[in-house]
Structure 1
Amino acid sequence: MNSNYIRSQISQLEKKAAGYQTQKVRHEETANKAASSANSKMSQAAKSRSENSRNTYLQAAEREAKKCSDESKKAAALAKKLADVNKQIADKQKALESALRQERAKEDRDLKSRQRQEDRLAEKRRRKELDHAREVARISRPEVRHIIIEPPKPEILRVLYLTASPEEGAPLRVDAEVNNVLRQIRGSKFRDQIELLAVPAATPIDLINGINDHRPHVIHFSGHGNKGGNHPQKPLG
């Protein structure tokens, strides 16, 4: 139960107790006055020599005595109510103390929870700042990277073999020569590393196309020159 609500209940009970106390005191004062008046009337009755006067005083004393009794009963009833209210106030005071202890305990738990949360946030900020500082330091210092470059793979030796036999005179045995070269290549240890492109009856255009198309490392020409050797459609012989 909320402590403020209990305080409100205690305040209401205290007001009720104050009201009962005021009424109780008023009834007690009235009872005391009535008792005093009854004693006075009895004293006057005892001193009176007249029977009528004596009876009058006695009746008045009886009324005052009854009034005193009634007011005393009312004061006693109010005293009981006041005691009950005071007991309720005492119980409420205990409940208030318990509620205050619970609220203080909750405040302590909440404070510790907020402190833990603030500590986590502070730790998070600290890690972020540390990471930032590390990143700045990393960017600030030169970075050396070692790149492993594989050695170039051996490239096949490309040979452009151009042959041309002259039309006039004894023909050359260029075909036999090419076959002999091919046999020597097939019998060699590195035959797989040699690519030979034979172009028979080669013309100047064949030479140019062979260079552009095959990008040869070696160009070998076997033949004889003649007067029309520079004609693109005639053999280079």
Structure 2
Amino acid sequence: MSIDSYRSTITRLKKEKANLEKDLACERKKSSQLQGDISSLSQSITSSTSLSTQQSKRRQIDLKHKDLAQCHKKIADLETRVSVKMADIYRNLQSLEQAEKQKQKKQDQEQNKRAQEQKKRDTHAKLRQDEELRHVRTVTRETEKQAQLKRQLTDSRLVIDLARLPEKIKVLFVASNPIDQNQLRLDEEIRLITQKIRASEYRDSVDLVSSWAVRSSDFLQALNEYKPYVVHFSGHGSSSDELVFQTDDGKTKLVSKEAIVTTMKTFNDNIRVVIFNACFSSNQAKAVTQHVDAAIGMNDSIGDWAARVFAAQFYSAVGFGRSIKQAFDQGLAALLMEGIPEEDTPVLFTRDGIDPEDIILIRPPGLVVSDY
């Protein structure tokens, strides 16, 4: 029952109680009058010598006693009804008090909730402001690095390296999403990567191809067929340094780190960079740098959205001619910009003696040695 209903009920009960008390007062007055009449009649009997008069008085007294008995009965009934009304009023007053307390408690909870939400919004705004400031600092540092890189282009070693870069690189996107694993949005990942590459400055220099529902034999077939410059594995990884491929019936097949390293070794004539966009893949990434220039892996589990955001921004930076180190850092910055607290999960490894700042995958179109 609502608070208004309780108040309405209490008001009605009080009116009914007042009416009963009014009736009770009338009956009590009537009882007093009857008792007075009986007393007067009794006195008049003793003073009268007429037998007939005495008999008449006694009959009147008997009638008065009957009326008095009925009056007492009404008084008792009214007193009971008044008591019941008082109990009803008391019970409803208690219910009203409880309802008001509950309402106040709810209002206090809502007020606390609004205060917490406001505090959360304020905290989020502060965090976003801090992230934006960090992003500005990151962009400033990258701009300074680019200026330094331009100054270093007069270095003959770097000029030769740039000149030897292919005019177009092939990125092989290898997807494995077994039906007995948590399903990943790999289609969304390649969509974002494609979108970022198409929006980059050197979009025509990146050829993105894909191989889906990959089995072990499919992986080797794709590496032979496409001869990729960059291999990007997207799927699941295990805490035992294994990648999750698929069986013929679409279920999990674990492939060991040693098998992956051996595979990269046999294709190290064309593969330069490997990205393992899978959980617990940092050891694989570190191991394959015996045979390729650079590799990226994850040192812990990584969320599906985080993996997509990191990969998309990494290839965007590559498409703008950034170095592997700069592309990696931009991927981390993208995680921070999206408010995803997983910037410590991706890890970049390079072959001994190689600086990731020196690894640039795309040769700017039209570049010749004489330009520098």
Same fold per TM (> 0.5)? Answer: yes
**AA matched with 1:100:** E
Aligned to 1:225: none
Matched, 1:75 2:79: no
Alpha-carbon distance between aligned partners in 1 of 2:37 and 2:129, rounded to the nearest angstrom: 93
Aligned to 2:159: 151
Aligned to 1:8: 8
Please list, as runs of the form range in 1=range in 2, the aligned pairs for 1:29-178 lying within 5 A after superposition. 29-131=29-131, 143-144=143-144, 145=146, 146-147=148-149, 148-149=152-153, 150-151=158-159
Identity rate of aligned residues, in percent?
A: 17
Alpha-carbon distance between aligned partners in 2 of 1:84 and 1:96, rounded to the nearest angstrom: 18
**AA matched with 1:102:** Q
Aligned to 1:17: 17
Alpha-carbon distance between aligned partners in 1 of 2:75 and 2:133, rounded to the nearest angstrom: 83
Q: Following superposition, which runs of at least 4 residues in structure 1 exceed 6 angstroms of deviation?
A: 135-142
Which protein has the larger Cα radius of gyration, Structure 1 or Structure 2? 1
Quote how far apart the aligned CAs of 1:29 are: 0.8
CA RMSD across the alignment: 2.8
Quote how far apart the aligned CAs of 1:82 are: 1.0
> Structure 1 stretches of 5 or more lacking a match?
155-237
TM-score normalised per structure 2: 0.37
CA displacement, residues 133-158 of structure 1 (integer Å, 9 cap, x when unaligned): 6677788999422225332569xxxx
Alpha-carbon distance between aligned partners in 2 of 1:50 and 1:140, rounded to the nearest angstrom: 132
Quote how far apart the aligned CAs of 1:123 are: 1.9
Alpha-carbon distance between aligned partners in 1 of 2:107 and 2:101, rounded to the nearest angstrom: 10
The answer to which structure, 1 or 2, has the higher relative contact order (CA under 8 A, 6+ apart) is: 1
- Kindly indicate which of the two structures has a greater share of residues assigned to helix: 1
Aligned to 1:197: none
Alpha-carbon distance between aligned partners in 1 of 2:133 and 2:159, rounded to the nearest angstrom: 40
Quote how far apart the aligned CAs of 1:9 are: 1.4
> Structure 2 stretches of 5 or more lacking a match?
165-372
User: How many residues are treated as equivalent by the alignment?
Assistant: 154
